[in-house]
Structure 1
Amino acid sequence: MNAMRTKIAIVTGAGSGIGRAVALELLRTGWSVALAGRREDKLAETAAEAGASAEAGASAGAGAGAGAGADPQAPDALCVRTDVSRPGDVDALLAAVRDRFGRLDLLFNNAGTFGPGGVPVEELDYAAWRHVVDTNLNGAFLCAQAAYRQMKEQDPRGGRIINNGSISAHTPRPHSVAYTATKHALTGLTKSLSLDGRPYGIAVGQIDIGNAATDMTERMATGVLQANGQLVPEPVMDVTDVARTVRHMAELPLEANVQFATVMATTMPYVGRG
Structure 2
Amino acid sequence: MSQASNAPHAPRTIVITGAGSGIGRTTARVLLEQGWNVVLAGRTAQKLHETAQGHGSALVVPTDVSDSQSVDQLFAAAAERFGSVDVLFNNAGIFGPPAAIDELDPAQWDEVCRINLTGAINAARAAFTHFKAHGGGRIINNGSISAQVPRVNSVAYTVTKHGIAGLTKCLELDGREHRIRATQIDIGNTASDLLDDFGATEGALQPSGHRLVEPTFPLAEAAEAVAYIAGVPLGTSINQFTITAGGMPYIGRG
| TM-score, normalised with respect to structure 1 | 0.88
* Structure 1 equivalent of residue 51 of structure 2: 46
Deviation at 1:120, TM superposition (A): 2.3
1:16-27 to structure 2, matched below 5 A, reads 16-27=21-32
Task: State how far apart, in whole Å, the 1-side matches of 2:28 and 2:195 are.
Answer: 19
Deviation at 1:271, TM superposition (A): 1.0
Of 101, 107, 110, 1:121 maps to 101
Of 213, 220, 233, 2:191 maps to 213
Matched, 1:170 2:170: no
Q: Letter of the aligned partner of 1:26 in structure 2?
A: L
Q: Which has the bigger relative contact order, CA under 8 A and spacing at least 6?
A: 2
Matched, 1:142 2:122: yes
* Structure 2 equivalent of residue 15 of structure 1: 20
1:99-128 superposed Cα distances (whole Å, 9 cap, x missing partner):
1111010000000000112x2211211010
1:73-112 to structure 2, matched below 5 A, reads 76-112=57-93
Unaligned runs of 5+ in 1: 54-75
* SS of equivalent to 1:234: coil
Task: State how far apart, in whole Å, the 1-side matches of 2:169 and 2:244 are.
Answer: 22
Of 236, 252, 261, 2:232 maps to 252
Q: For structure 1, which segment, 184-193 or 215-224, has the greater mean C-alpha deviation from structure 2 after superposition?
A: 215-224
Task: State how far apart, in whole Å, the 2-side matches of 1:166 and 1:2 are.
Answer: 26
Unaligned runs of 5+ in 2: 1-6
Deviation at 1:222, TM superposition (A): 1.3
Deviation at 1:217, TM superposition (A): 1.7
Matched, 1:152 2:122: no
Q: Does the 8 Å contact 2:97/2:156 carry over to 1?
A: no
Q: Does the 8 Å contact 2:20/2:48 carry over to 1?
A: yes
Deviation at 1:179, TM superposition (A): 0.4
Task: State how far apart, in whole Å, the 2-side matches of 1:207 and 1:271 are.
Answer: 16
* SS of equivalent to 2:200: helix
Identity %: 50
The number of residue pairs the alignment matches comes to: 246
* SS of equivalent to 2:38: strand
| TM-score, normalised with respect to structure 2 | 0.94
Task: State how far apart, in whole Å, the 2-side matches of 1:112 and 1:206 are.
Answer: 14
Task: State how far apart, in whole Å, the 2-side matches of 1:167 and 1:160 are.
Answer: 21
Task: State how far apart, in whole Å, the 2-side matches of 1:149 and 1:26 are.
Answer: 24
Report the RMSD for the aligned CA atoms in angstroms.
1.0
* Structure 2 equivalent of residue 35 of structure 1: 40
1:218-267 superposed Cα distances (whole Å, 9 cap, x missing partner):
44231111111111111100111111111111111100021101000011
* SS of equivalent to 1:91: helix
Q: Does the 8 Å contact 1:104/1:150 carry over to 2?
A: yes
Of 169, 181, 186, 2:159 maps to 181
Q: Does the 8 Å contact 1:109/1:164 carry over to 2?
A: yes
Q: Does the 8 Å contact 2:95/2:194 carry over to 1?
A: no
Task: State how far apart, in whole Å, the 2-side matches of 1:248 and 1:87 are.
Answer: 29
